[in-house]
Amino acid sequence: MNRKLSDLSGRNAIVTGGARGIGAAAALALAREGANVVVADLIDASETVRQVESLGQKAIAVETNVAVQQDVRHMVERAIETFDHIDILVNNAGVVHRDSLLETSEATWDRVVGVILKGTFLCIQAIYPHMRERKYGKIVNVSSISGIIGGAVSKLDDSPEKMRGRSGPAYAASKGGVITLTRWIAKDVAKDGIFVNSVAPGACETEMTKGFDYNVSMLPIPRMGTPEEMAAAIAFLASDASSYITGQVLNVDGGWVTA
């Protein structure tokens, strides 16, 4: 019997920022297709692990600060020690800020860029030798439409200030950097059988967007997206269904960004 292109049976994944939101949904989407999952996060990820195990797959939680190289190397070592090999890396860990240009402190810039952009780089750098040796790997980086359009505009539900909820400059710059990094690495590692792509979520119902109005009634698909919808795109790019796709950005945004 031919293997379904979406089938991830026998494959093992690392999902950063997997304790909640898009990361947790991605871990479960991969598990439903048969993958075992390493759930990496700075906060307690035991609930995601429990849900993955309830689907019949194996999972472990690894406390990880992706902005710290030693933490990232430990995460990869634990993953390989537990599951022998890693086929999929989902770089989802992130933080958001909504400060203005003048309000953005150096500390905020360093923290946001460190987690989102540096963290994505460190995780790819750490897993690359392992994937190269096996001649196979699927890397999916979670960016944002903020990295394409320069910050998604929203406002607090009870605020008349139109721009108050706009994602800040460090967030937009980091997410834009993730897209460029995706393209650079995709060109560098394709020869090793490694595929590198990105998803760019639009307005999505997570803890980060709770209480903010993104005016989604104006979108072609006039509603907020869900973590599960973002996760479905991630699972597609993590599977053999995307076997001739690399260096691409898939906007999962209800039509917010159009060509």
Q: Which residues neighbour 100 within 8 Å (Cβ) at sequence distance 6 or greater?
A: 163, 168
Distance, in Å, from the CA atom of 134 to the CA atom of 11, rounded to the nearest integer, reads 13
Does residue 27 contact residue 1 with C-beta atoms inside 8 Å?
no
Which phi and psi (to 5°) does residue 161 adopt?
Answer: -80, 110
The residue annotated as part of the active site, out of 128, 171, 214, 244, is 171
Q: Which residues neighbour 51 within 8 Å (Cβ) at sequence distance 6 or greater?
A: 24, 27, 28, 31
Beta-strand runs (E) in 107-244: 137-142, 155-156, 194-201, 212-213
Does residue 144 contact residue 175 with C-beta atoms inside 8 Å?
yes
Q: Do β-strands 155-156 and 212-213 pair in parallel, antiparallel, or remain unpaired?
A: antiparallel
Going by the DSSP 8-state scheme, the letter that residue 160 receives in this structure is: -
Does residue 31 contact residue 228 with C-beta atoms inside 8 Å?
no
Distance, in Å, from the CA atom of 65 to the CA atom of 41, rounded to the nearest integer, reads 7
Catalytic residue status for 171: yes
Q: State the catalytic residues.
A: 171
